[in-house]
Amino acid sequence: MCGIVGVLGDHEAAPIIVDALKRLEYRGYDSAGIATVHKGVLESRRAVGKLVNLSDRLVHEPLRGKAGIGHTRWATHGAPNEANAHPQSAGTVAVVHNGIIENYHALREELTAKGAKFLSETDTETVAQLCRYYLDEGASPQEAVEKTLQRLEGAYALCFLFETDDNLLIAARKGSPLAIGHGKGEMFVGSDAIALAPMTSKITYLEEGDWAVITRTSVEIRDVNGKLANRQMRNIQLSAMAADKGMYKHFMAKEIAEQPTVLAENIGHYISDDHTRIDLRTDEIDFSKVTNITMVACGTAYLACMVAKYWFEKIARIPVEVDVASEFRYREPPLNPNSLAIFVSQSGETADTLAALRYCVEQNIKTVGVVNVAESSIAREASVVLPIYAGVEIGVASTKAFSCQLATLAAMVLYASQQTGQTGGHDLAELVSAYHALPGIVSQALQIEQEVRAISTELATATDALFLGRGDMYPVALEGALKLKEISYIHAEGYASGELKHGPIALVDKDMPVVVLAPKDALFDKTVSNMQEVMARQGKVLLITDKDGLKTAGHGVWRSVVMPRVHPVFAPVVYAIPVQLLAYYAAVSKGTDVDQPRNLAKSVTVE
């Protein structure tokens, strides 16, 4: 996902923009650039690779000017090279863009026929050339942008800079988030509040279809129909610590370690003061009227939904369907009017999840957004929002957000049982108490860190790995495989352990690490028999279990990790820890870019 910054300041813009872009690095990128206007001249500097390359460029070829725009590009159209880096400019206008212009081919042909010379492969250059066309026809910058926006199809967050006016930025948002930061005699534009935190905490989020004409002392926002719109200015207090690694080598390490704290924050919000009942802090959800649940998400958030399916069905006795958003949105399933649709998303901006939400809203289904970013698109468009209180998550690999998503979904399940009386034979008070105890158990689980680190160093030499689990450990197996893949680049697959004999066991040999997630629960014996089938074929089994489990089945395994005892219902929250640490230390051992793994973005705001 690309990062956008705009500055109308009273200091040199370039260093402010570079610093803001650094705070957007977590989004993932492969090139970066800046443009400024100084004494009536629009100039840009761009560089492939990390921001340090752009900074080096600016040392040797400094950019002056107090008005500027900057960009970190995650390539969608065109290779990650300097010509395709943003800002993209044409004549006297430069533009930075996050999103995809879906009709850019047709526009490019139309403009080429009118004499435009394209220098890049990007869809974004089409925006610059179209704006230039209208400027050349005598339109003012505002008129030119308005006409340009009317021609664009697809998703965009845009910020325009004009050579003719160093007291003007024009920003627009359709499908990708964009914020305006209010300074003292200065104005800023950014993809999120994190980018703008050092400059201001006074933030106005543009709504869908909005565009804004910005000077150092004014912001004029118009809605999709061109009508003046009032958008709330919020005070977003982002602690400086939030986007700072502190004593940790990586944000991911910090965020893994933060889980007991943020889980306590999350659970503290959703449990009654006497710790005996769940209170979702909304009366918008009545599970006694819910016939079935649809859950939609992507990636790790989707795996949290898979865990919650077991919980909703086993405890609250409500049928659940879980789907990845990119499939759901095109499957266009018929939905029962009394169903509840739950969308889980750390960023609240994942394009497919947002599109799936909009499909359900069109079907008049009650929608719940379980998100970490309270002012995100999904938060704004869902009927009900349940924040996960994980705090800012910078590492591309989602860790504390996953455990907080699970905790929030667990609160929904227990709340459903409270409302309907359905508990699947479980003792609700016991479950609420076990839920409340989770932060402490997760804190104990983190004690395995050094043990896992040693194992990861060996795991890092593997080219492939299997993760096995049964029941609600199956989604945790999938999550372990996803974590290992996405940050260490080791190929890994998660499997329901009962599926082993239906194919994957053919992969097993003496070099194949097989991670078995098996707390001593009702399914333990079944999982252990699958594990023994692996060991009988010289498979290298890493058994992640508890003390009783190790005593029962630990003999002969390659390695083992002993977890603290946890109520079987909530084991997924605790068993997420070892798979996060396994992936983290395997990546550290391999020297990959842990916080910004290759090809990945923190939030996938394009399809």
Residue of 9, 87, 175, 299 interacting with ligand AGP (CB under 6 A)? 299
Give me 330's structure tokens: 């095109």
Residue 510 annotated as catalytic: no
Between residues 176 and 423, which has the closer beta carbon with respect to ligand AGP? Answer: 176
Q: Report yes or no: 607 and 503 within 8 Å, Cβ to Cβ.
A: no
* Total of residues contacting ligand AGP (CB under 6 A): 15
Report helix, strand and coil shares of the chain as percent, to nearest 5.
40, 25, 35
Which is it for the CA torsion 371, 377, 380, 382, positive or negative? Answer: negative
Between residues 110 and 208, which has the closer beta carbon with respect to ligand AGP? Answer: 208
Between residues 101 and 355, which has the closer beta carbon with respect to ligand AGP? Answer: 355
Between residues 72 and 353, which has the closer beta carbon with respect to ligand AGP? Answer: 353
Residue of 347, 403, 488, 605 interacting with ligand AGP (CB under 6 A)? 347
Between residues 84 and 346, which has the closer beta carbon with respect to ligand AGP? Answer: 346
CA distance 189 to 487: 31
Give me 236's structure tokens: 């977003």
Work out whether 376 is an interface residue with ligand AGP (CB under 6 A): no
Residue of 122, 326, 345, 560 interacting with ligand AGP (CB under 6 A)? 345
Least separation in angstroms between CB 9 and ligand AGP:
31
- Select which of 2, 298, 305, 360 is catalytic: 2
Q: Which residue is nearest to ligand AGP (CB)?
A: 299
Residue of 55, 76, 300, 377 interacting with ligand AGP (CB under 6 A)? 300
Q: Report yes or no: 16 and 66 within 8 Å, Cβ to Cβ.
A: no
Span interacting with ligand AGP, options 97-105, 176-184, 329-337, 347-355, rule CB under 6 A: 347-355
Residues contacting 151, CB < 8 A, separation 6+: 103, 107, 130
CA distance 30 to 93: 23
Span interacting with ligand AGP, options 243-251, 298-306, 427-435, 520-528, rule CB under 6 A: 298-306
Residues contacting 427, CB < 8 A, separation 6+: none
Least separation in angstroms between CB 603 and ligand AGP:
5
Site string for ligand AGP, 429-468 (x = CB under 6 A): ----------------------------------------
CA distance 206 to 383: 19
Work out whether 127 is an interface residue with ligand AGP (CB under 6 A): no
Site for ligand AGP in 352-371 (CB under 6 A): 353
Q: Report yes or no: 271 and 435 within 8 Å, Cβ to Cβ.
A: yes
Least separation in angstroms between CB 593 and ligand AGP:
14
Work out whether 398 is an interface residue with ligand AGP (CB under 6 A): yes
Residues contacting 268, CB < 8 A, separation 6+: none
Max CA separation in the chain (angstroms): 81
CA distance 497 to 552: 18
Span interacting with ligand AGP, options 28-36, 362-370, 396-404, 422-430, rule CB under 6 A: 396-404
Between residues 390 and 535, which has the closer beta carbon with respect to ligand AGP? Answer: 390
Work out whether 350 is an interface residue with ligand AGP (CB under 6 A): yes
Cα 143 to Cα 17, 137, 146, 153, 486: the distances in Å are 27, 11, 5, 18, 44
Work out whether 488 is an interface residue with ligand AGP (CB under 6 A): no
Residue 602 annotated as catalytic: yes
Cα 232 to Cα 182, 202, 382, 455: the distances in Å are 12, 10, 18, 51
Work out whether 530 is an interface residue with ligand AGP (CB under 6 A): no
* Gyration radius from the chain CA atoms: 25
Work out whether 527 is an interface residue with ligand AGP (CB under 6 A): no
Q: Say whether 345 sits in a helix, a strand or coil.
A: strand
Q: Which residues bind ligand AGP (CB under 6 A)?
A: 298-301, 345-347, 350, 353, 396-398, 486, 603-604
Q: Catalytic site residues?
A: 2, 602
